[in-house]
Structure 1
Amino acid sequence: MNIHQMEEKLKSVLSERRFNHSIGVMETAVKMAETFGCDVEKARLAGLLHDCAKEIDKDEAVRLLDEMGIEIDDEKRIQKGLLHADLGAELMIKEYGICDKEIYDAVKCHTMGRCGMTELDKILYLADFIEPTRREFDGLDELRSLCFCNLDEAMLFAINLSISFVLGKGKVLHKQTIETREYFTKLIEGRKAVL
């Protein structure tokens, strides 16, 4: 399946708003990949397909993940917004024929991050935050600037924004988000200590 066929398939399963968001993430991920010397084609595919499971009903998502034998913890089972990354990574293989481990990992961690994120992981996570159709929020302009200067500092900034948003909505933070924040905090502090 070529990228145009993937776009057409995606159009058939996503709302117009979500599809436009996916195109925006794809285009932003490509620009970031060019800036940081990352594989542009992998960034393009990860950006396009990252939300391919976003609009699948929560119960259906849980059923599909269980059927595929993919373990999901209780926190993810409760919060629909966390399921689509795991399911999307699996559907990317099954429905779109993308079997690249780097792309799979980037899609799988694009909602909560992870320790030891690759450049592609960071690019997708951040492109999802800053793409042009994203609603305005406090810190967006600063984050957009950081994303083209320093990926690690941009990650920490974005994770902190995400934590504030989640807590502000009265939701529970997933432990993986906290671990990701701790990872980037230590990474950046470690670099500053060397200077």
Structure 2
Amino acid sequence: MKLDQMDLLLKQALKPGRYIHSVNTMKAAVSLAEHYGEDMEAAAVAGLLHDCAKNLRDDETLEYCRIHGIELSELEKRQVFLMHGEVGAILACEKYGVNDEIVLNAIRYHTTGYPEMNMMDKIIFLADYIEPGRTHSEVDNVRKLAYEDINRALIGSFDNIIKYVIHQRGLIHPNTIKARNSILMLISDNNQIRI
């Protein structure tokens, strides 16, 4: 399926605000992909479809997980919305015809991150965080860093997300902690400094 066909289908599936966010994320992803010499077409697809499962009800999300044999942790059972990335990867394949594992993985982990994120994973995670519709107080610094040092930008976004979740008294997904630690170690190794 071509990107314009995906776009039409997605526009019908999402609420208007979520659709606008998806288009903005796609544009940010393409810009980051171009900046870092990555596949801009793959970034466009992943950016556009990253939230394709976001409007599902919890029971629908749980049903997708059950049908596809995805076992949920206790944390994921309590915060089913965290599974919209995993289910989004399924929908991207089944409904939108995406079979590129790099794109599907970027969709799968755009909410939590995970250790050993590749460049496309990082681009989609950051594009979702910095797209122009995001106006939270910490976003401007991360937007600037995204084009200077993608790993430091990711640390900024992870730190801000973790602070927000703590402030909301929410549960922090272990993948987020592992992703943050992995990138901090990478930065430390590259700079040969201790954290």
How is 1:35-184 mapped onto 2 (pairs within 5 angstroms)?
35-134=35-134, 136-184=135-183
Residue 189 of structure 1: aligned partner: 188
* Farther off after superposition, 73-82 or 100-109: 73-82
Aligned-partner Cα distance in 2 for 1:27–1:121: 15
CA contact (8 A) 1:77 1:83 kept: no
Residue 34 of structure 1: aligned partner: 34
Report the CA distance between 1:171 and its aligned residue. Answer: 0.4
Stretches of structure 1 that go unaligned for 5 or more consecutive residues are none
Instruction: Describe the SS at the equivalent of 2:142.
Output: helix
Instruction: Describe the SS at the equivalent of 2:95.
Output: helix
CA contact (8 A) 1:26 1:44 kept: yes
Normalised TM-score (structure 2):
0.96
Aligned-partner Cα distance in 1 for 2:119–2:148: 13
The count of residues paired between Structure 1 and Structure 2 equals 194
Report the CA distance between 1:122 and its aligned residue. Answer: 0.2
Runs of 4+ in 1 over 2 A off after TM superposition: none
* Farther off after superposition, 6-15 or 74-83: 74-83
Normalised TM-score (structure 1):
0.96
Aligned-partner Cα distance in 2 for 1:71–1:41: 31
1:9 pairs with 2:9 = yes
CA contact (8 A) 2:62 2:80 kept: no
Instruction: Describe the SS at the equivalent of 1:72.
Output: coil
Q: Amino acid of the residue matched to residue 112 of structure 1?
A: T
* Farther off after superposition, 74-83 or 16-25: 74-83
Please tell me the root mean square deviation across aligned C-alpha atoms, in Å.
1.3
